[in-house]
Structure 1
Amino acid sequence: MTESWRRRDWWVRCVPAGYSAVLALLILGPLLGSGYLLLRDAVSTPRSYLTDSALGLGDAAPRAVPQDAVLAVLSPVIDGGLIVKAILLVALWAAGYGAAVLARELLGAPIGAQLVATTVALWNPYVAERLVQGHWSLLAGYAALPWVALAAYRIRTDGAAGTWAGLAGCLAAAGLTPTGALLAGVTALSLAGRRYVAGVLALLVAASVPWLTATALSGAAGEPSDPAGIAAFAARAEPGLGTLGSLAGLGGIWNGDAVPDSRTTLLALIGTLLLLAVVATGVRSVISDGGDRYVRRALVVLAALAILLPALGATPWGTHVLEWLVAHVPGAGLLRDTQKYVALAMPAYALCAAAGCGVLARRFSTAPASAATDNAQRTDDPSLPSSGFDRVPKLSTTVTGTVATILIALLVLPLLDLAWGAGGALRPVHYPAGWQQVADRMDDSGDVAVLPGGMFRKFRYSGTAPVLDPAPRLLPRDVLQTGELPVRGRTVSGEGTRARTVETLLLHGGSARELADQGVGWILLERGTPGPLGESKTTLAQLDPVFGDADLALYRVPGPIRQHAGSATDRGIAIAAHAVWAALLLGGLLLATRIRRTR
């Protein structure tokens, strides 16, 4: 390997990595200041605790496993808000850079085309809408997809130990949430081929073991979800696009309030048409040009299914099918927000956009034909597969760079308000000091119930959007939550049966003795936020006030409290499952990096 090749390789790798970092910083800008992410479903806190709920052993389905346990373990050492910001920033960077590396290895794409792939992976409605909805950990699974695809491709080509280690680490990273694990698992199983299915399945189970274990131990596996969630979370049509067009444009989230302003105007149509035009320009090149075409074709098919199936799920008959599944098949509730599976289209979109850049550059180039592209435009990596980029007329740096710049501008401008925190939607908040004082006054006497009823809040310090109650993360005891979600004017029932019983007791003025029998030792009243209070004054009058300020009031339930905590055995098993996941994540990524550097 010559010194000039080393310098060129360094340049080829660093430019896409730096560009991805710039886009990630531009998107997250205001969130990186002091404070905490508190927006709709996103809750970051200075410190969280390893409660039964954090391990997935609570009353409700373990949807935030292992993410809550990770924060509970790390936040005593590193500020929890900083951890969430770091994960989100690394996730966005990894999504963009992963798309560039995928285009380089599967297509032999030059730098300009790699930057187009990065732009498609980062600057799109899916990223914008999931950020505004607060799905930061889902974006970690999204970011893993190009790397999972790359690992599956490498397994097919060499099957080396380092490649399997890389796949293990990527699957674990995606498995920060159950949905992320499913996204990565579908991608890996679709690309690796039948010969490697058993190995991929084994790694996927290991990466998913925290939430699989929690589901089995908590009994949530035996409880079906509310069928009303299917219609409530169905993909939504955006202006001028219809449901299918919205999904094809990587948009269509169920919550119309969780979108940038540009997606409520004609810009949604313009941006979608431009994205699809760029992608369509490169499809033929991706699926037909030389080399190992299986992975590229499989990615395109996966993208088509990821768009068509959620669109069918939003039709009347598709809704009926999904409602039957969630009502009769335990665990099928993971399918209710079908739009999130559009993430599976991202790797193929990035590849096709990169190939489209090459197609357009060839059309506009006036340079003489050559058997290979200009060395300044190629990666010159002899390990790259044969592809359309190495059998096209010689392209000048100017032509390729100009085409890439134009495509990037066309992709960015219709969604310009993704910049700087999705138009300012992502703003850090600061919790009042009363939260820490409440946490300090709690001992081990029972779980916590909260008032007003419901799981969502509007605090004076959190902005105008509803936010998930931060109490379960801020307090050292398990906080009972019903899991009921207000969506599109209807309420989707959750799995928290004990929490629902306790909330009913509070709203109907139940006695302190009844609360104690339900294992409730504390009542937290969150002042100033809308929500039902019912006859709770009758109940609160029977309790012992412990703390009060303008935002919070804490009451202790007197007398002996019946314990409802999970067994020590269950906690030990759940902690061991999380340890397996952590070992897979850290060990897989470190081993893959070391082996690849050695090679």
Structure 2
Amino acid sequence: MAPAYALALTLAVTAPLLGPGYLLLRDAVSTPRSYLSDAALGLTQAAPRALPQDFFVATASAVVDGGVVVKALLVLGLWLAGWGAARLVAVVLPAAGIPGQCVAVTIAIWNPYVAERLLQGHWSLLVGYGCLPWIAATVLSLRQSPERNFRAVCALVFWLALAGLTPTGLMLAATIALACALAPGAGRPRWWCAGLTVGAAVTAALPWLVASALATGWAADQSAGVAAFAARAEAGLATLGSLASLGGIWNADAVPPSRTTLFAVVSAIVLVGIVAIGVPQLLRRRIAVPLMILAALAVIVPAAMATGPGLSAVETVIDAVAGLGVLRDGQKWVALAMPAYALAGAAAVLTLRPRVPALATAAVCCAALIATLPDLAWGIGGRVSPVHYPPGWTAASAVVNADPAPVAVLPVDSMRQFGWAGAAPVLDPLPRWVRADVLSTGDLTIGGVTVPGDGSRAREIQRMLTAGAGRDDLAAAGVGWVVVENPEDAPELALPRAYRDDDLVVYHVGGDAPESPHRAVLVGAHVIWLGQLLLGLLGMTISRLRSRHTDRRHEHIERPESSDQ
């Protein structure tokens, strides 16, 4: 029942995405087809934030439409979050039964974190989020069982690889696994569980670890924008209260309407109240204590990071250790609290069971959680819904794909405002439409403040364009094409025009740049990650089939066929 309930809640959130079209909202970009460009492999000046996500989508979109791939993964991630929460309850609090599992499912899916990350377009982060309770349940099972558990080992390998669609997802998953490895138990030793976690996490991280080692020039600006990306207090709540209720994303525009009013206080009281009711019961289960401690840290540390001293400390750490710009968005680490919150919600049913029937408690808790975040339904009131590209995007990409040389883009910002894509800004989709590498600065404007990105070469090319550089100079700089998006707002360039319509203008420059010499190395790193994902899934499947076969054989032995008298 719990998986079906989780699927129902997931579809209630993502229903608009089941229709035709493409997810294109802020950081979420999907296109009919993506390609294994240098950028998709992390071989650019930009920090490798979207690996191996871009590799996977590019590979899968060769077989299935890329829009379907992205939407399916998003739906899968949310469903896994709810189903996994129910599974975690079955491992830690079996006495909570189906009522407790349903409360856990609701907490895992119907919360501000999911709403805000959906509005920000972090679909792949939500896939990693969905893996967290499965990882917790898997490691806790290893700690409890004294027997070798091949299925659990394969499961941990698989879930870490799936969460590793993005670096952040893998870091969240590995943290949950290591915390659970510290739990008491008579099963596999702590060092064994921790060692398995670290080994599987390292192989899953190879795409972005190798890309980071080979990349140059992107680490210098990683501390920029720390204040802009800090967790934020929502209406009626301090920063700590926002984070404790699983909200507080840095972007005030990526917040559901109900969280922009004092109604957010009601939502926070309901969620935190249900969790608080279950905490005393959960504390009696020593195996859950590491997850509870981690949940507290996942709220307190991001809140501290948003203070003056905290911001200074984060800037110092990022400046000292190249590549730790991933720490800037403090609120995303609140995902680490979800498994413990789900368990506490289920424990609330046990706490109240002497006075209130379990089904009644579960019904009230689930209804209250949904009612206090009503706009999560139907793609947050239709704000998360598919869009349709104008025909010019297909035509323009075909022109570039016929000669996939580097592409410079105007306007210079990384975010775009398209009338056909809705009111929210979107990340430029061109890099995922063409085989060529698209030169992008990665600059973001947040609250009127520009946070510089990593693309120093792209920034120089764009300076040349805005200064009126000629075709020969651009070609010498390695530019093959110039694409102008929203051309009605841009001046005509003195370059040969290859395509034009109301949405795009493509100019042919004729320059080129060699492919990175490290492509084979990065492809190999991605293949290792993909192999881990597929082998883990295969091992889980084979183990489950063998277990079912063994159970049926034992059942047949215990129930011999009766003979006629």
TM-score (norm 2): 0.92
Shift of 1:216: 1.4
Question: What's the counterpart of residue 302 of structure 1?
Answer: 294
Asked whether the equivalents of residues 22 and 30 of structure 2 are also in contact (C-alpha less than 8 Å), the reply is yes
Indicate whether 1:192 and 2:181 are aligned: yes
| 1:456 to 2:415 alignment | yes
What does the per-residue CA deviation read over 1:69-97, in whole Å, with 9 as the maximum and x for residues that have no partner? 11111112100000111101111110000
* 2:242 match: 246
- Equivalent position of 1:210 in the other structure: 207
Which residue number corresponds to residue 62 of structure 1? 48
Does the 8 Å CA contact 2:349/2:361 hold for their aligned counterparts?
A: yes
Name the counterpart of 2:543.
Answer: 595
**Residues 568-599 of structure 1, C-alpha deviations (whole Å, 9 max, x = no match):** xx111111111111111111122123214423
Q: Secondary structure at the match of 1:525?
A: strand
- Structure 1 residue matching 2:230: 3-state secondary structure: coil
Aligned 8 A contact 1:95 1:146 in 2: yes
Please name the residue that 1:380 is paired with.
Answer: none
Q: Does 1:183 align with 2:183?
A: no
Deviations 1:351-402 (A, max 9, x none): 00000122112223xxxxxxxxxxxxxxxxxxxxxxxxxxxxxxxxxx2111
Distance change in 2, residues 1:104/1:20 (3 Å): same
Deviation at 1:277, TM superposition (A): 0.7
Tell whether the 8 Å contact from 2:349 to 2:362 is kept in structure 1 after alignment. yes
Q: Could you say which residue in structure 1 is the equivalent of 2:84?
A: 98
In the aligned structure 1, how far is the partner of 2:315 from the partner of 2:321?
10
Instruction: Note closer, same or farther for the CA distance 1:528–1:554 as it changes in structure 2 (3 Å cut).
Output: closer
Give the equivalent residue in structure 2 for 1:566.
516
Q: Is the contact made by 2:99 and 2:362 (CA closer than 8 Å) also made in structure 1?
A: yes
SS in structure 2 at match of 1:232: coil
CA distance in 1, matches of 2:458, 2:181: 43
1:99-130 per-position Cα deviation (integer Å, ceiling 9, x unaligned)? 01101111112101100000000000000000
Residues 263-303 of structure 1, C-alpha deviations (whole Å, 9 max, x = no match): 011111001011111001111111214xxx23x10000000
Match of 1:553 in 2: 505
Which of 4, 13, 24 aligns to 1:38? It is 24
User: For the residues of structure 1 that align with 2:11 and 2:404, how far apart are their CA atoms?
Assistant: 44
1:585 to 527, 533, 547: 533
Of 250, 254, 264 in structure 2, the residue corresponding to residue 268 of structure 1 is 264
Q: Which amino acid aligns with 1:577?
A: A
Q: Which whole-Å deviations, capped at 9, do the CAs of 1:519-538 have from their partners, x for residues lacking one?
A: 110000112586xx5xx64x
CA deviation map 1:184-235 (0-9, x unaligned): 0111111113412222111100111111111112236x72434232100000
Hey, what does 1:396 align to over in structure 2?
A: none
What code does the residue aligned with 2:206 have?
Answer: V
Uncovered stretches (5+) of structure 1, i.e. residues with no partner: 1-14, 365-398
**Structure 2 matches for 1:368-447, cutoff 5 A?**
399-442=357-400, 443-444=402-403, 446-447=405-406
Runs of 4+ in structure 1 over 3 Å off: none
Distance 2:390 2:232 in 1: 36
Question: Does residue 336 of structure 2 align to residue 336 of structure 1?
Answer: no
Q: Which residue of 2 aligns with 1:372?
A: none
- Secondary structure at 1:520 match in 2: coil
TM-superposition CA deviations, 1:131-154 (whole Å, max 9, x none): 011000000110000011011112
Corresponding residue SS for 1:450: strand
| Secondary structure of 2:480's aligned partner | strand
1:132 aligns with 2:119: yes
Q: Is the 8 A contact 1:132 1:425 kept in 2?
A: yes
Identity %: 49
User: How far apart in 1 are the matches of 2:404 and 2:158?
Assistant: 40
CA distance in 2, matches of 1:337, 1:273: 25
Distance 2:277 2:144 in 1: 27
Q: Is the 8 A contact 2:91 2:141 kept in 1?
A: no
- Amino acid paired to 2:66: G
- 2:404–2:435 Cα contact (<8 Å) kept: no
* Conserved 8 A contact 1:460-1:528: no
Cα separation, 1, equivalents of 2:533 and 2:331: 27
Letter in 1 for 2:540: A
| TM-aligned CA deviation for residue 157 of structure 1 | 2.3
CA contact 2:487–2:505 (8 Å) conserved in 1: no
Candidates 244, 250, 257, aligned match of 2:253: 257
* Residue 445 of structure 1, CA deviation: 5.5
Is 2:141 the counterpart of 1:154? yes
Structure 2 CA distance, aligned partners of 1:93 and 1:401? 22
Separation (CA, whole Å) in 2 of partners of 1:450 and 1:428: 24
Other-structure match for 2:157: 168
TM-score (norm 1): 0.87
The separation in 1 between residues aligned to 2:144 and 2:345, in whole angstroms, is 24
AA matched with 2:538:
L
Whether the 8 Å contact between 2:406 and 2:512 is mirrored in structure 1 is no
Alpha-carbon contact 2:222-2:318 (below 8 Å) kept: yes
1:113 corresponds to which letter in structure 2? G
- Structure 2 unmatched runs, 5+: 183-189, 548-565
Does the Cα contact within 8 Å between 1:527 and 1:552 map onto a contact in 2? yes
User: C-alpha separation between the residues in 1 aligned to 2:359 and 2:486?
Assistant: 57
Name the CA distance, whole Å, in 1 between partners of 2:221 and 2:284: 43
Give the AA of the match of 2:257: D
Question: In the aligned structure 1, how far is the partner of 2:168 from the partner of 2:221?
Answer: 16
C-alpha separation between the residues in 1 aligned to 2:220 and 2:201? 23
* 2:429 is the counterpart of 1:470: yes
Once the two structures are TM-superposed, the CA of residue 484 in structure 1 deviates from its matched residue by 0.9
Q: How many Å apart are 1:518 and its aligned residue?
A: 2.2
Task: Provide Cα deviations, 1:150-200, integer angstroms capped at 9, x if missing partner.
Answer: 111122123522211100000000000010010001111111134122221
8 Å contact kept, 1:224–1:329 = no
Report what 1:16 is aligned to.
Answer: 2
User: Using the alignment, how far apart are the partners of 2:175 and 2:214 within structure 1?
Assistant: 25
Partners of 1:59 and 1:499 within 8 A in 2 = no
- Aligned residue for 2:408, secondary structure, equals strand
Q: CA RMSD in A?
A: 1.4
Which deviates the most, 328-337 or 354-363?
A: 354-363
Alpha carbons 1:225, 1:332 under 8 Å: kept: no
1 CA distance for matches of 2:311 and 2:171?
21
Q: Is the 8 A contact 1:224 1:331 kept in 2?
A: no
- How many residues matched? 535
Looking at structure 2, the residues matched to 192 and 92 of structure 1 have their Cα atoms a distance apart, in angstroms, of 25
Give the aligned residue type for 1:280: A
Opposite residue 338 of structure 2, the aligned amino acid is: M
